[in-house]
Amino acid sequence: RHRAGSSSDSWSGGARKVPSRPPAAVMVPPVREPDAAGRQVMEHLRRLEERAAPGLAAQVMPVFLRDTATRLESLREAVRQRDGVAAHRVAHTLHGSAATVGAATMVHACAEIIREVRLGAFDGCDRLLGELDQDFESIRRVAESLRI
């Protein structure tokens, strides 16, 4: 039986050991299935169209595709220059656009980029930019195959 304050107490001496920094969370990227992001977006838009917004995909997707291509390039440049303010602003805008069309994996990657640039940790952003590129290409391919 263990009693507080006994010699086997790991906190002996009353001094509590506090780590100087919390351990960094290790994010393991999900396995990405080809065109999964595109199918996810189209399914999201299809559900919205069925509820009350016929033609939504045809209205939203051309704007999303055009604006996202430009924003990804702007984000890549901001990260390359280690411009935290610009990277945060563009990632936040992309986050909102991706959420609007139901691109959950892009939303997640944007949230991670926002977190990284707030911490000034730009090194992890290259992997996240790669994920955004993959998801965007998936969405573009699926939209084109459906002639949206």
3-state secondary structure 23-76: CCCCCCCCCCCCCHHHHHHHHHHHHHHHHCCCCHHHHHHHHHHHHHHHHHHHHH
d(CA 8, CA 135): 53
Note the pLDDT of residue 71. Answer: 98
Tell which wins on pLDDT, 56 or 95. 95
Give the phi and the psi of residue 85 in degrees, each rounded to 5. Answer: -65, -50
The yes-or-no verdict on residue 20 having pLDDT over 90 is no
Share of residues in the chain with pLDDT > 90 (%): 59
